[in-house]
Amino acid sequence: MFLMMKTMSVIVTALLLAIPLCLSYAEAINYNQLRLMAAKHNMTCILVFGDSTVDPGNNNYLSTPAKSNFLPYGEDFYSGHPTGRFCNGRLTTDFIAEAFGYTDLVRAFLDPAITRKDLLHGVSFASAASGYDEFTANLSNVLSISKQLDYFRHYKNHIRNLVGTKESEEIVRNALVILSIGTNDFLLNYYVVPTRSRQKEQYQNYLISRMKTAIKHSLGTRKVAVVGLPPFGCMPIVRTLRDDIKCDTELNEVAVSFNSKIQRELKTLARPSFTSVFVDIYRVVLNAVESPKRYGFVEALKGCCGSGTYEYGKTCKDLSTCSDRTKYVFWDAVHPTERMYKIIADDALQLILSYMF
Residues known to be catalytic: 52, 332, 335
**Do 309 and 237 form a contact (C-beta atoms < 8 A)?**
yes
Closest CA to 131 of 56, 61, 53: 53
Distance CA 315, CA 217 (A): 36
Q: Is 157 exposed, middle or buried (0-12, 13-18, 19+ CB in 10 A)?
A: exposed
Residues 6+ apart with CB under 8 A from 272: none
Residue 188 DSSP SS3: helix
**Do 225 and 178 form a contact (C-beta atoms < 8 A)?**
yes
Q: Is 184 exposed, middle or buried (0-12, 13-18, 19+ CB in 10 A)?
A: buried
DSSP H or E segment with residue 10 = helix 2-11
Q: Is 185 exposed, middle or buried (0-12, 13-18, 19+ CB in 10 A)?
A: buried
Note the Cα 295 to chain centre separation in Å: 21
Residue 344 DSSP SS3: helix
Closest CA to 147 of 212, 51, 234: 51
DSSP H or E segment with residue 223 = strand 223-227
